[in-house]
Structure 1
Amino acid sequence: MYIVPEAVIAGLLSRDECFRAVEAVFASMARGAARNFPVIREALGYADALYGFKSGFDREGLALGLKSGGFWPGNAAKGLTNHQSTIFLFDAESGQIRAVIGGNRITALRTAAASAVSIRHLARPDAEVMAVVGAGHQSAFQLRAALEQRRFRRVVAWNRDPSRLAGLAAVADEFGLPFAAVDLDQLGAEADVIITILSSFAPVLRVAQVRPGTHIACMGTDTRGKQEVETALPGRASLFTDEVLQAITIGEFQHAIAAGLVTAEAVTPLGAVIIGEHPGRVSEEEITLFDGTGVALQDLAVGAAVLEAAIAKGLALTV
């Protein structure tokens, strides 16, 4: 089998290759050719950590495997990434293990690619102001991928600790765009596209702060109890997600479902838009909301692409 250490993954795949891998997974799911298996996600009761497993199989790409890992909020103080994960790939013909791959960077890449796919298919074509709510490890990945989807002219962002926004300002500078740290009222008043990337158990973005025509990608909620936006907001928007069952049980829509504001039938898989079974955005005034809960198939697809690139470049260890 192969081992691809975390340290060699940077630079193996371009953002466009990650985008195409994740977009293909959405489409395969919509065609019924790929399936995510039930998620195990639990609080350890130690180190304030959340830990779990995500797994699945894609009959088109033949990606079979799982990602094991979670969130350790104290890691930043140790100089480590809060999200820690490892991907295991298996041979679909025999069930033998094929590879063990560092999953931290892949998680950030596939999460950013998923929100970027939602922007490509759901944001208004004339979107000009990009906004990010949150400045954790994944935020810079999110912004880079998002800025490639439209001709944005300005970036605004909010974080509880504004000093941490320097990383997002640097990304905006990479793209030659002006950047401003703003409060949430100004962010919503200006933004055409908003990405929320928080590990929050209380809503941060409010309904009154979102103007008509906005596309929102909620990328931080993946556990029961987590929440990034006000419960009423999904009731005002057209709803899309990666995996409907996850969105209504552990994703951002869990709260609106519990409050009776929306139903599972109101949530559309993004893959249905990609393959043309759903029109996606239907008006300039419509608020579209994509709930990116994070599915195993995204990790497996990007992990498989990383594996092939690592083998081709002689960076995969053989055991």
Structure 2
Amino acid sequence: MLIVPEKLIADLVSAEDAFAAVEATFAAMAREEAYNFPVVREALGEGRQYGFKSGLDRAGGMLGVKAGGYFPGNAGKGMPNHQSSVYLFDPETGRPTAMVGGNLLTALRTAAASAISIDRLARRDAKVLGMVGAGHQAAFQLRAAARVRRFEKVIAWNLHPEMLPKLGEVAAELGLPFEAVPLERMVEADVIVTITSSPAASLMAAHVAPGTHLACMGTDTRGKQEVEPALLARARVFTDEVAQSVTIGEAQHAVAAGLIAAADITPIGAVVAGLAEGRQSEAQITLFDGTGVGLQDLAVAGAAVRRAEEFGLAIAVEV
């Protein structure tokens, strides 16, 4: 078995690598060449979450599981709140083949999924990027979005506004003007990325203008919620996996309220694979419900292992 430690990931997997790996995985899912297993998610108390996401990608020859979760006390200890590891197995024999540090990979694959949705669904003339949330993953989201559209400005809101200057520094690195705004001004954005761990909606339908694309990336557990259910009723909704979207994703609330049904949601992989239409008009609101699927983790972990082997950096152990 090969071990690829967390400290090596930044030099092995780029944002572009993650984008390509996740896009290929989404297409394989749409072609029914890959599928995710049911998510296991447990609350440990005091805001801590732990769980498992896993799947099989026959096209990519990948079988594995990501184990990890959210530990809000970690920041005070100098560690990321999100902690995870990815384990890969030979799909023919079940033999363990790799253990890969999953913290940075999680941020990269989440940002890649958001960027894929922007690339495929946002208007080509999108100029203003709205960011709702300014935590650890927000910087990755901002950089990934800027790779697929030529934005001219970034506006942002966070429940704790003192966190916004760090996100502003990222915008400055990208050469983009940055402004902290109240949520009501998100109506000025052409693309909005939500990346929070909120238990209640913050972004309302009235905050979103016609023609906007939203990438809702924070809701991945029952009870989490970033946007008002009425917004999904106004939008054409896409997701990474419909089964997760309606149970643990942003769509769970709109479905529970009877505003949309699972049949109303389109897998983004179907758009990538050319099996479904994306944006249908300039005025249409499109919304990507990014729940985060296990196959995304396997795809980026596989990329890390291949690169580590190429550079002779993978650590071999007997199991």
The reply to whether TM is greater than 0.5 is yes
Displacement of 1:13 in angstroms is 1.7
Equivalent residue, structure 1, for 2:38: 38
- The CA deviation string for residues 95-152 of structure 1, in whole angstroms up to 9 with x for no partner, is 1000111110000000000000000000001000011100111000111011011111
SS at match of 1:156: strand
The runs of at least 4 consecutive aligned structure 1 residues that moved more than 2 Å come to none
Equivalent residue, structure 1, for 2:174: 175
SS at match of 1:44: strand
Which aligned pairs between 1:271-310 and structure 2 lie closer than 5 A?
271-310=269-308
Displacement of 1:11 in angstroms is 2.2
State how far apart, in whole Å, the 1-side matches of 2:29 and 2:161 are. Answer: 39
Equivalent residue, structure 1, for 2:5: 5
- The CA deviation string for residues 146-192 of structure 1, in whole angstroms up to 9 with x for no partner, is 10111111111111122211222121112111111111111x22100
Percent identity over the alignment is 62
Q: Are 2:24 and 1:24 equivalent residues in the alignment?
A: yes
- The CA deviation string for residues 40-66 of structure 1, in whole angstroms up to 9 with x for no partner, is 011123x43111101001011011100
Task: Between 263-272 and 155-164, report the one with greater CA deviation.
Answer: 155-164
Displacement of 1:310 in angstroms is 1.2
State how far apart, in whole Å, the 1-side matches of 2:61 and 2:69 are. Answer: 25
In structure 2, give the amino acid aligned to 1:86.
S
- The CA deviation string for residues 215-247 of structure 1, in whole angstroms up to 9 with x for no partner, is 000000000000000121100100000000000
In structure 2, give the amino acid aligned to 1:200.
S
In structure 2, give the amino acid aligned to 1:239.
V
TM-score (norm 1): 0.98
Task: Between 306-315 and 251-260, report the one with greater CA deviation.
Answer: 306-315
Q: Are 2:230 and 1:232 equivalent residues in the alignment?
A: yes
In structure 1, give the amino acid aligned to 2:278.
G
Which aligned pairs between 1:111-130 and structure 2 lie closer than 5 A?
111-130=110-129
In structure 1, give the amino acid aligned to 2:10.
A
State how far apart, in whole Å, the 1-side matches of 2:203 and 2:162 are. Answer: 20
State how far apart, in whole Å, the 2-side matches of 1:310 and 1:132 are. Answer: 34
State how far apart, in whole Å, the 2-side matches of 1:48 and 1:268 are. Answer: 31
Which of 232, 246, 255 is the equivalent residue of 1:257?
A: 255
Change (3 A) 1:48 1:161: closer
Equivalent residue, structure 2, for 1:148: 147
Root-mean-square deviation (CA, aligned residues, Å) is 0.8
Residue ranges of structure 1 left out of the alignment (5+ in a row): none
State how far apart, in whole Å, the 1-side matches of 2:250 and 2:83 are. Answer: 22
Equivalent residue, structure 2, for 1:139: 138
TM-score (norm 2): 0.98
State how far apart, in whole Å, the 1-side matches of 2:194 and 2:187 are. Answer: 15
SS at match of 2:11: coil
Which aligned pairs between 1:9-88 and structure 2 lie closer than 5 A?
9-45=9-45, 47-88=46-87
Displacement of 1:259 in angstroms is 0.4
Residue ranges of structure 2 left out of the alignment (5+ in a row): none
State how far apart, in whole Å, the 2-side matches of 1:48 and 1:230 are. Answer: 22
State how far apart, in whole Å, the 1-side matches of 2:47 and 2:201 are. Answer: 20
In structure 1, give the amino acid aligned to 2:128.
V
